Amino acid sequence: MPHTLALITGASRGIGAAFAEALPAETGLLLTGRDEARLAARAERLARPDRTVETRAADLATEAGREAVIDWARQFPVDLLINNAGLGRLGPFGENPAATERAMVEVNVLAPVVITRALLPDMLARARPEARAGVIIVSSVAGFQPVPFMATYAASKAFDLHFAEALAQELSGAPVDVLALCPGATDTDFFDRAGMAMEALSLIATPERVARRALASLGRTTVCLPSTKNRLTSVIGRYLPRGVVVPGAGRMMRGMLDRREG
């Protein structure tokens, strides 16, 4: 069923922008991200006379940015929350900038928790069986196992996955659907910002496909793995011994790091 108004974090580009494009025209949009110009351009393209489209530039790595988004969103009847904003960084934990490691936790872990906690009570109060609310938390296939050289990122995405699954169970009797979206390699600028070579990866999905699969899965399942490759990766991470999975992931990421440094 179409939602009335969606708040999308990290909507400047990538999967967040694809969510904005994929939602039905009758769903209003609150778009937040760090790139004000991109947000404004997207809002101008998606706006129509009978549709609310608002933007707010904010950095979710800061408490001020998170609180600004919460205060703004509380002015609207949000019934779909898409916690999409995320950061990653390839490199040895002890060599990555401390500020970058902290920002990953602030954006990937703290932001979904505090924004969801702030908005969910009112979402539930407005929801009805025939007009359900929805929460999508963007995790990653990296959340199914430890990933050396992306230690904080993978750990943060494991948190997102477990948080979404637990929240879905807690709210199983309420008129709200909760989904953990766990994409793999997706054609966005995440890799450039994370210091990774995208050409080293195979079977890269489009953000449009990932967003559409997530929206189609909301209310039908709790965890969405958008492709067969993603599902296989999750099985490896969950069921093979850690003594096999972690060294294997380390060798793969070490190879990516060597390509970057070479």
Listed residue (262, 4, 228, 253) closest to 126, CA to CA: 4
Residue 40 has pLDDT above 90, yes or no: yes
Residue 211 has pLDDT above 60, yes or no: yes
Query: What's the pLDDT at 228?
Result: 77
Query: What's the pLDDT at 249?
Result: 84
Listed residue (224, 222, 225) closest to 203, CA to CA: 225
Three-class secondary structure of residue 148 per DSSP: coil
Give the range among 80-89, 155-164, 226-235 with minimum mean pLDDT: 226-235
Query: What's the pLDDT at 244?
Result: 84
- Active site (catalytic) residues: 139, 153, 157
Per-residue exposure over 70-102, b if at least 16 CB sit within 10 Å of its own CB, e if not = bebbeebebbbbbbbbbbbbbbeeeebeeebbe
Residue 200 has pLDDT above 60, yes or no: no
Residue 13: which H helix or E strand, with range? none
Assigned token pair, 15: 């999967």
Identify which has the larger pLDDT, 72 or 196: 72
Query: What's the pLDDT at 223?
Result: 97
CA dihedral angle for residue 45, residue 227, residue 164, residue 103, rounded to 10 degrees: -70
Assigned token pair, 227: 């492709």
Query: What's the pLDDT at 194?
Result: 60
Return the DSSP state at 200.
G
Q: Which CATH number fits domain 5-261: 2.40.50.140, 3.40.50.720, 3.40.50.300, 3.90.1150.10?
A: 3.40.50.720
Listed residue (164, 161, 170) closest to 234, CA to CA: 161
Q: What is the mean pLDDT of the chain?
A: 92
pTM value surpassing 0.95:
no
Q: What is the pLDDT of residues 5-34, one digit of tens each?
A: 999 999 999 999 999 999 999 999 999 999
Confidence category of residue 234, pLDDT binned at 50, 70, 90: confident
Q: What is the mean pLDDT of residues 182-201?
A: 69
pLDDT exceeding 70 applies to what percent of the chain?
94
Assigned token pair, 103: 């920002």
Q: CB pairs under 8 A, 24+ apart, for 213-220?
A: 214/19, 214/136, 214/179, 214/181, 215/19, 215/22, 215/23, 217/179, 217/181, 218/134, 218/136, 218/177, 218/179, 219/132, 219/134, 219/177
Domain boundary assignment for the chain: 5-261
CB 126 within 8 A of CB 75: no
Confidence category of residue 202, pLDDT binned at 50, 70, 90: low
Secondary structure, 3-state, 85-144: CCCCCCCCCCCCCHHHHHHHHHHHHHHHHHHHHHHHHHHHHHCECCECEEEEEECCHHHH
CB 10 within 8 A of CB 84: yes
